Structure 1
C-alpha cells in the first residue's frame, strides 16, 4: 500500500460508523447504496472505490461481493433491522452488516 493509500485508508476508517437501515433508506431510494459482503474489509473496498481501482471493483462486482442494494435486500434489512456499518465514498454509501460478537456463554 502506498503512503497515499495508507493515509486514505486511515481517513476512511475514521469515517466508518454504525448506522441503522432507517438512516440509509434515502440513499437506497436514490440508488446510491452499495452492499459489501461481510467477509470483505469494508474500508478496503471503500479505498478501491475512492481510488477508482477498476480491477478490484470489477472483481468484487463480478463475484457478487459488491452490488447495489436491491429491493429484496432492502426489505430483508427493514424486517430484521441488523447492525450495519457504513462509509461514504461520494456519490456512494458503502454498507455492510456487522458481524455478531461471539456470545460469552
Structure 2
C-alpha cells in the first residue's frame, strides 16, 4: 500500500467515526450561515467528505454538476424542518455535509 492510500484510509476512518445522526433543527444556524451541503443518498457520505477534505476538485465538481452535492435549498430546509428530520452529518470545516438516507 502506498502512502497516499494509507493517508486516505486514515482520513476515511476518522471521518467515519465523526459521522452521526443529527436533527435538522440543530443545524439551522449553520444552514443560515450557508455552511450546510446536501449529499445525494446515492453517494457515500464519507467518500464525499474525504473528497472535500482532500480538495478533489474533479470529483466534487462532477457531483455538483450532477446536482448530487449542493448547498441545501430553502425548499429542502423547510421540508426537513417540517418533517422534524434526522440526517447523517459529518463536518469538513468549514462545511457540514448532510445526507437524508432513503428508507
TM-score in terms of structure 2 length: 0.93
Structure 1 residue 83, shift from structure 2 partner = 2.6
- Is the CA contact (8 Å cut-off) linking 1:49 and 1:57 kept in structure 2? yes
Cα distance in 2 for residues equivalent to 1:44 and 1:13:
9
1:64 equivalent to 2:67? Answer yes
Would you say how many aligned residue pairs link Structure 1 and Structure 2?
100
3-state SS in 1 of match to 2:55: coil
**Match for residue 54 of structure 1?**
57
The one-character-per-residue Cα deviations of 1:57-77 (angstroms, maximum 9, x if unpaired) are 000000000000111111111
Is 1:74 aligned with 2:81?
no
Q: Structure 2: which 5+ runs fail to align?
A: none
Counterpart of 1:2 in 2: which secondary structure?
Answer: helix
1: CA distance, partners of 2:27 / 2:101: 15
- The alignment yields a C-alpha RMSD, in angstroms, of 1.0
8 Å CA contact retained: 1:83, 1:98 = no
Q: How many angstroms apart in 2 are the aligned matches of 1:60 and 1:98?
A: 17
Task: For structure 1, list consecutive stretches of 5 or more residues without a partner in the other structure.
Answer: 101-105
For residues 1-105 of structure 1, what are the structure 2 equivalents within 5 Å? Answer: 2-100=5-103
Which runs of 4 or more aligned residues in structure 1 lie more than 4 Å from their structure 2 counterparts after TM superposition? none
Query: Partner of 2:90: helix, strand, or coil?
Result: strand
